[in-house]
Structure 1
Amino acid sequence: MSAPARTRPMAPPRPADPHAGLPANAIGRRKSVLEIVTLYVFVVVPFLALAAVVPAVWGWGLSWLDVGLAVGFYFATLLGVTVGYHRYFTHGSFKAKRPLRLALAVAGSMAIQGPVVQWVADHRRHHAFSDREGDPHSPWRYGTGAGALLKGMFHAHLGWLFERRKTNAERYAPDLLKDPALVMTGRLFVVWAAVSVFLPALIGGVVTGTWAGAWSAFFWAGLVRIALLHHVTWSINSVCHVVGDRPFVSPGRDRATNFWPLAILSAGESWHNLHHADPTCARHGVLRGQIDISARVIWAFEKLGWAWNVKWPDPVRLAAKRRVPATTGS
C-alpha cells in the first residue's frame, strides 16, 4: 500500500515539537506565572471592552473628547510599534538620536504588545523562519486545508502569544540587550502599560471635572483603543500572510501579502509583501496610491534632524524584486 500524500512543502503541518527547525539556542526561558496572568489581563479585558462597544454607545454615547483621546493615543502608541519597535529597533531602517530612541521604546511599550527587546527578538525570528517551522506566528503552520488554515490564522493572530517558551533574546536581539536604558524600559513594561490604560482617564477627568468623564475616557481611549490596536497589528501576522496581493518576490516559503483595507489603521504596516521582500526599507507602501503614515513620520524625523541614514526605497532594488506577471504563449 502506498504511503499517504504529504502536505505541500510550502505550508508544512505543525511538527510534534513546536520548536522543530530552530537552532538549539533560539528558545529562551519559560514565561513566568506573572507574565502569563498579565498577558491574559491585557489581552482579554480590552477585548471584552471592544465587545461592549455597541451597548455602551446605545446607553450613553461618547464625546468628542473621547474621540480625540482615543485617536491621539491610538496613533501615538501605534507609531511606537510601527516606527519604533518594527522599523527602527528590529530592522534598523534609520538611525535616531538618543531621546527619540528612548521615546520610541516607551511609546511602543504603551501599545501593550510586550517589552521592546522581546518584541524585537520574536519579530527577527519571524523573518528568519517566515512561514516555515520555527516561525512563531505563521498561519500556515498546520497545513493548507480550510480547517488547518482557520486554526493557523487563530494561532498567528492571537494564540502564539500564549506559548509558554520565549524566543531567546540573547540570540535574536543581543544589540538591544547591550543598551541598559532599553533593558530598564522593558523591566518597567507594566508601568508603561498602566500609563497607557489610565492616563486617558486622568485627562478625561481633569478636562470634564467629573467621574463620568474619567470613566468614559478610560473606556474609549483606554480599553477600546487598546483592543482595536491589538487586533489591527495582530492582523498583520494573520491576514497579511493569507489574503491580499504579492507584487514583490519575498524569499523562501514566505507568503506575506499587501492588504490595503488596513493601510490607514496599521499606519502602513499592511503593505507587508514589500516589507518581507525588502525588510530594512523605511517605507513599506512604495507603489502609487499606497499610503504609509509611518514612513511619513520617519521623513519628518529626518527633516527635524532627529533621524538620519534612512533607508529609503531604491528604485533599482525594487525593480529587481518585482514579480513578473505570468504570460500565456501565442
Structure 2
Amino acid sequence: MTLLDERSTSRPSPASPASPAIATAGPASAAKAAAKPVFEGTKHRGEQIALYAVVILPFLAFAAAVPVAWGWGLNWTDVVLFLTFYIPSGLGITVGYHRLFTHSSFKAKRPLRIGLAIAGSLAIEGPVIRWVADHRRHHAFSDKDGDPHSPWRYGETVPALMKGLAFAHIGWMFDVEHTNREKFTPDLMRDKDIARVDRLFPLWAAVSLLAPAALGGLLTSSWAGALSAFFWASLVRIFVLHHVTWSINSVCHAIGERPFAARDKSANFWPLAILSFGESWHNMHHADPTSARHGVLRGQIDESARVIWLFEKLGWATDVRWPKPERLAKLRVVAGE
C-alpha cells in the first residue's frame, strides 16, 4: 500500500467534515483552499533537532522513573505538580486543539479560545495551527492514501500492521514535509489571537518545562525539589501526555470495538479513556467528527465533554454540537447493530 503518491495534487474530499474552515467559507475561498497542494515545504534542521529532543528526553526520563521512584521515592509535591500540569495541558489538547480548533464542536468566547490554545501548547505537541492542519488532513484521508499516520499504511498482515503501528505512533512525525496550513487551516491563520499563540510556541514550551521546576523549588525551598519536580512534572508528564495522544493515532485505529459506522478503522479503546480525557472513544469520533462528546454510550467516561458542558453553563461556550439520539441511532443501525 502506498500513501499519497502524487503529493502535490491530492486533496481531501470537498465534503469532508474534517475541514470546517473550508466548508464554512464562501465559494471562492473554499475553491481557493481546495486548489492548494497538500504540502508546504519541509522541516528545517532546527525543527528536526527539537523533535528528537522532545521525543527522546521524556522517554529517557520515563525509563528512569521506576528506579528513581524505588531509590529516592516519589513525594506528594511531585504528584500534585504532575496533575496540576497534566490536566490543563491535556485538556488543552482534547478540548482546545482537537474539539474546538480542529472540528469546531463549539464556539468559545475570545479569552477562552486564547486560553485553550495556550493550554494545548503546554503539552508540547506542536504549535496549534500546525497540529490542527495535520489532524484535519488525517480526517480528510483517514486510513487511506494521504493519512499522515495510519497504522494500515503498509498493509494488513501482522508484520505490516506492527510496522504501521510504530509509524502511526511516532514515525510519522519525522516526515520532513509539512502539511499545508493555508489549505487545511485558513481560518486559524486569519485569527490574529491564535496566530500569535502559534508563533509564541517556544515560549509556551519553555514555560511548560520550567514552571514545574520553579514551583517545586519554591514549595520545598531546595534545588533537589526543583530537580525532582522537573523530572516528574515536566519530563515524565510530557512523556505520558505524548504517548497517550500518539496511542489515539495508532492503537485506536487498530484495536478495540467499532459500534458505530465510520469510513475508516477507528475503534474505541477503553483502557485509555481516563488518561486521554475521553479521546479514546475514537470510533464514535470518526463516525461523527464534529460531536462535542465522544463517549456517548453508557459507562463511557468523557471528561472533555464535561468540561465543554461546564463552559456552556458558564456562558463561555455556545453552539455546542451535542450528539443527537436520532443521529446515533442511524449510525448504529448502519453498523449493523
Q: For this structure pair, what is the TM-score category when the shorter chain's length is used for normalisation? A: over 0.9
Contact 1:205 1:214 in 2 (8 A): yes
Aligned twin of 2:280: 270
Task: Check whether the contact 2:4–2:10 (CA below 8 A) recurs between aligned residues.
Answer: no
Partners of 2:76 and 2:140 in 1: CA distance: 44
- Given the alignment of the two structures, is residue 167 of structure 1 paired with residue 198 of structure 2, yes or no? no
Q: Partner of 2:246 in structure 1? A: 234
Q: Tell me the distance in 1 between the aligned counterparts of 2:107 and 2:3.
A: 39
Question: Is the CA contact (8 Å cut-off) linking 2:257 and 2:267 kept in structure 1?
Answer: yes
Q: CA deviation at 1:20?
A: 8.1
Query: Runs of at least 4 residues of structure 1 off by over 3 A?
Result: 15-21, 323-327
Name which of 138, 146, 154 aligns with 2:166: 154
Counterpart selection for 2:117 from 105, 110, 119: 105
* Cα offset, 1:323, TM superposition: 4.6
> 1:88 and 1:15, CA in 2 relative to 1: closer, same or farther beyond 3 A?
closer
Matched, 1:122 2:110: no
Whole-Å Cα distance in 1 between the matches of residues 113 and 4 of structure 2? Answer: 40
- Per the alignment, in what secondary structure is the counterpart of residue 232 of structure 1? helix
Looking at structure 1, the residues matched to 336 and 328 of structure 2 have their Cα atoms a distance apart, in angstroms, of 19
Q: Is 1:54–2:42 an aligned residue pair?
A: no
Q: Structure 1, residues 266-314: CA drift from partner, whole Å, max 9, x if none?
A: 0000000000000000000000000000000000111111101100110
SS in 1 for 2:271: helix
The alpha-carbon distance between structure 1 residues 20 and 273, as it changes in their structure 2 partners (threshold 3 A), is farther
Matching of residue 280 in structure 1 with residue 290 in structure 2: yes
Please give the alpha-carbon distance, in whole angstroms, between the structure 1 residues aligned to 2:6 and 2:91.
32
Q: Aligned equivalents of 2:6 and 2:215: distance in 1?
A: 45
Name the residue aligned to 1:63. 75
Q: 1:325 to 1:99 in 2, by over 3 A?
A: closer
SS of residue matched to 1:52: helix
Shift of 1:29: 1.2
Q: Which residue of 1 aligns with 2:262?
A: 250
* SS across alignment from 1:322: helix
For residue 21 of structure 1, report the CA deviation from its aligned partner.
7.3
RMSD: 1.5
Equivalent residue for 2:52, pick from 24, 37, 40:
40
CA distance in 2, matches of 1:284, 1:316: 16
What does residue range 177-188 of structure 1 map to in structure 2 within 5 Å? 177-188=189-200
Please state how far the C-alpha of 1:226 moved relative to its aligned partner: 0.4
In the other structure, the counterpart of 2:18 is none
Q: Distance between the aligned counterparts of 2:67 and 2:2, measured in 1?
A: 40
Q: State the Cα distance separating 1:57 from its structure 2 match.
A: 0.8
C-alpha displacement of 1:185: 1.2
Q: Which of residues 291, 294, 297 is equivalent to 2:307? A: 297
Which consecutive residues of structure 1, in runs of 5 or more, have no partner in the other structure? 1-12
> Could you tell me how far apart the structure 2 residues matched to 1:274 and 1:256 are?
8
Distance 2:103 2:167 in 1: 24
- The structural deviation recorded for 1:325 is 7.0
CA deviation after TM superposition for structure 1 residue 62, in Å: 1.2
> Which protein is richer in helix relative to its size?
2
- The letter of the residue matching 2:204 is W
TM-score by length of 1: 0.92
Distance 2:151 2:232 in 1: 30
Q: Secondary structure at the match of 2:96?
A: helix
CA offset at residue 17 of structure 1? 3.8
Query: What's 1:6 paired with?
Result: none
Structure-1 separation of matches of 2:261 and 2:8: 26
Q: Is the 8 A contact 1:79 1:267 kept in 2?
A: yes
Do the aligned residues in 2 keep the contact of 1:247 with 1:323 (CA within 8 Å)? no
1:200-211 to structure 2, matched below 5 A, reads 200-211=212-223
| Native 8 Å contact 2:127 2:198 kept in 1 | yes
Aligned equivalent of 1:22: 10
In the alignment, is the contact (CA less than 8 A) between 2:261 and 2:332 conserved in 1?
yes
> Which amino acid is the alignment partner of residue 297 of structure 1?
V
Structure 1 counterpart SS, 2:321: coil
* Unaligned stretches of 5+ residues in structure 2: 12-35
Q: CA deviation at 1:148?
A: 0.7
Instruction: Work out the CA distance in 2 between the residues paired with 1:271 and 1:123.
Output: 16
Q: Deviations over 1:114-144 (max 9, x none)?
A: 1010111100000000001000000001000
Aligned length: 313
Distance 1:172 1:54, change over 3 A: same
In the other structure, the counterpart of 1:10 is none
TM-score, length basis structure 2: 0.90
Q: Which amino acid aligns with 1:14?
A: T
Seen in structure 2, the aligned counterparts of structure 1 residues 59 and 288 have a Cα distance that, compared at 3 Å, is same
User: Identity, % of aligned pairs?
Assistant: 62
DSSP 3-state at the match of 2:315: coil
